[in-house]
Structure 1
Amino acid sequence: MVLNNSPASACFHWNHRTIASGETLRVVVVDDNKNTADAVSAALAQEGYESLPVYSGAQAIKSCDMFRPHAMLLDISMPHCDGFATAREIRATKGESKLLILAYTALPREFVVMRAAPGDFDGFCQKGAPIENVVRCLREVST
Structure 2
Amino acid sequence: MARKMLQLLHLQNIERSMLSVSYSPKCALWTSRNVDADHEQWRILVVDDNAASAEGLAAALNADGCDTRFALSGVDALQAIDGWVPHVVVLDISMPEHDGFATARVLRRISPTRNAGIIAFTALGEDYVRSKGVHAGFDGYCQKGNAPGVLVKLIGQIVQVH
Report TM bin, short chain: 0.7 to 0.9
Counterpart of 1:47 (choices 35, 56, 64) is 64
Over the matched positions of the two proteins, sequence identity in percent amounts to 35
Work out which of the residue numbers 34, 39, 52 in structure 2 matches 1:35.
Answer: 52
Residue deviations 1:10-65, cap 9 Å, x none?
A: 11111111221122210000000000000000000011000001100111122222
Identify unmatched segments of 5+ residues in structure 1: 1-7
Match of 2:157 in 1: 140
**Partner Cα separation in structure 2 for residue 109 and residue 88 of structure 1:** 18
Number of residue-to-residue matches in the alignment: 136
Match of 1:3 in 2: none
Per-residue deviation, 1:119: 5.5
* Runs of 4+ residues over 4 Å off in structure 1: none
Contact conserved, 1:63 with 1:69, CA < 8 A, in 2? Answer: no
Identify unmatched segments of 5+ residues in structure 2. Answer: 1-23
* Contact 1:9/1:133 (8 A) holds in 2: no
What does residue 84 of structure 1 align with?
101
Flag the 1:95–1:142 CA change in 2: closer, same or farther, 3 A: closer
CA deviations over 1:79-99 (Å, ceiling 9, x no partner): 001000000011123453320
- 1:70 is aligned to 87
**Map of 2:32 onto structure 1:** 16
Deviations 1:86-123, CA, capped at 9 Å, x for gaps: 00011123453320000000000111111235261000
The structure carrying a bigger helix percent of its residues is 2
- Work out which of the two has the higher radius of gyration on C-alpha atoms and give 1 or 2: 2
Q: Per-residue deviation at 1:9? A: 6.5
Deviates more, 1:86-95 or 1:53-62: 86-95
Q: With the length of structure 2 as denominator, give the TM-score of the two structures.
A: 0.78
* 8 Å contact from structure 1 (residues 19, 142) kept in 2: yes
TM-score (norm 1): 0.88
Q: Considering only aligned residues, what root-mean-square deviation do their CA atoms show, in Å? A: 1.6
